[in-house]
C-alpha cells in the first residue's frame, strides 16, 4: 500500500504566505493524524487505500487554498489585494467537508465491524440502565426487539419484569412471550453474502442490506433504485426484500459501477 505525501511545494508556499511561517507544516501534521487513524482501523489494506486516496484528494484541495491564502496582516505591508488573496472561506468549507466526510466514513467502518451480538448487548444494557434511572420507563418496546434477536434472554427478562409491569394479554410483548414459549419465534440473524473493498452485503430476516464504505455517487444511487433498493435510515444502509434480491448483481457493483462507489 502506497501512502501519498502532500505536495511539498504547496506546503512550503503555505508556510511562506502565513504570518507564523508554519501554516503548511500544521496542515501536513493534521493530515498525517488522519492517515494514522485510518491505518489503525481493522479493515483490509484495499479499503484503507481507497479511503486514504480520497482523503489525499480532499486534503490537497484544502492545501491549495492554504497556499494561496494571504491574510490581511501579511497583505497590508506587501500591498497585495487583500480581498482577492483571502481564501479563508474556501479553506473553512474544505475543512468542514473533510470533517463531515471522515466522520461518516468512520461510522460506516465502525458499523461494519460490529459483532453479531453487539446490538443485543447494547439493548440489554439500555434496559438495565433505564429501569435503574428512569421510573417512568417501560421496557416493553425494547423487549419486543429483543424477542427476535435473543429469544431465550427475552423470555427470561419478561418473567423477571412481569410482576412489576403486569402487561395485558393482548399487548404485543405478551403475545410475543406466548409465541416464544410455543417456539414460534424465529430469531433474525445477520448473514453476510458478499463483501469487497467497497461494500458489505447481508440479509436479516426478510430484508437484504448493502452498506457502502463511502457514499455512492448519483449514477449508482439511480442504479440501486432501478434494481429495487431504497435508503433505510434506521439501518444506515440500502435495503430491499430478500425475495427481490439479485446476489449476482450485487457482486458486480464494484466493477460495473467502479467510478461511482
Q: How confident is the model at residue 88 (pLDDT cuts 50, 70, 90)?
A: confident
Q: Cell numbers for 31, please give them.
A: 493530515
Lowest average pLDDT, out of 70-79, 148-157, 160-169, 193-202, goes to 70-79
Other CB atoms within a 10 A radius of the CB of residue 89 amount to 10
H/E/C letters for each residue in the chain? CCCCCCCHHHHHHHHHCCCCCCHHHHHHHHHHHHHHHHHHCCCCHHHHHHHHHHHHHHHHHHHHHHHHCCCHHHHHHHCCCHHHHCCHHHHHHHHHHHHHHHHHHHHHHHHHCCCCCHHHHHHHHHHHHHHHHCCCCCCHHHHHHHHHHCHHHHHHHHHHHHHHHCCCCCCHHHHHHHHHHCCCCCCCCEEEEEECCCEEEEEECCEEEEEECCCCCHHHHHHHHHCCCEEECCCCEEEEEHHHCCHHHHHCHHHHCHHHC
Spatial strand order in the sheet of 190-195: 190-195, 199-204, 207-212, 237-241, 230-232
pTM over 0.75: no
Q: Cell numbers for 100, please give them.
A: 463531515
Instruction: Enumerate the domain spans of the chain.
Output: 8-112, 118-181, 190-260
Q: Could you read off the pLDDT of 99-142 as tens digits, one per residue? A: 999 998 888 787 766 655 677 888 888 887 877 776 788 888 88
Percent of the chain past pLDDT 70, that is, above it, reads: 91
Percent of the chain past pLDDT 90, that is, above it, reads: 48
Amino acid at each position: 500500500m502506497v501512502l501519498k505525501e502532500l505536495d511539498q511545494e504547496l506546503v512550503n508556499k503555505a508556510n511562506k504566505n502565513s504570518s507564523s511561517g508554519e501554516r503548511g507544516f500544521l496542515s501536513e501534521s493534521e493530515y498525517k493524524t488522519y492517515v494514522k487513524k485510518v491505518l489503525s482501523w481493522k479493515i483490509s489494506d484495499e479499503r484503507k487505500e481507497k479511503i486514504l486516496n480520497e482523503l489525499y484528494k480532499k486534503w490537497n484541495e484544502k492545501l491549495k487554498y492554504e497556499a494561496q491564502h494571504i491574510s490581511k496582516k501579511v497583505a497590508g505591508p506587501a500591498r497585495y489585494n487583500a480581498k482577492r488573496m483571502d481564501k479563508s472561506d474556501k479553506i473553512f468549507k474544505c475543512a468542514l467537508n473533510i470533517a463531515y466526510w471522515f466522520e461518516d466514513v468512520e461510522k460506516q467502518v465502525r458499523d461494519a465491524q460490529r459483532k453479531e451480538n453487539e446490538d443485543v448487548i447494547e439493548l440489554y444494557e439500555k434496559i438495565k440502565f433505564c429501569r435503574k434511572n428512569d421510573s417512568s420507563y417501560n421496557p416493553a418496546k425494547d423487549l419486543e426487539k429483543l424477542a427476535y434477536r435473543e429469544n431465550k434472554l427475552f423470555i427470561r427478562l419478561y418473567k423477571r419484569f412481569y410482576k412489576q409491569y403486569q402487561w395485558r394479554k393482548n399487548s404485543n410483548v405478551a403475545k410475543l412471550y406466548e409465541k416464544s414459549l410455543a417456539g414460534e419465534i424465529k430469531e433474525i440473524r445477520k448473514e453476510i453474502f458478499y463483501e469487497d473493498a467497497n461494500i458489505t452485503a447481508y440479509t436479516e430476516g426478510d430484508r437484504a442490506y448493502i452498506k457502502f464504505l463511502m457514499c455512492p455517487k448519483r449514477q449508482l444511487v439511480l442504479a440501486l433504485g432501478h434494481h429495487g433498493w431504497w435508503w433505510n435510515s434506521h439501518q444506515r444502509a440500502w435495503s430491499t426484500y430478500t425475495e427481490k434480491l439479485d446476489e449476482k448483481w450485487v457482486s458486480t457493483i464494484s466493477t460495473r459501477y467502479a467510478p461511482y462507489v
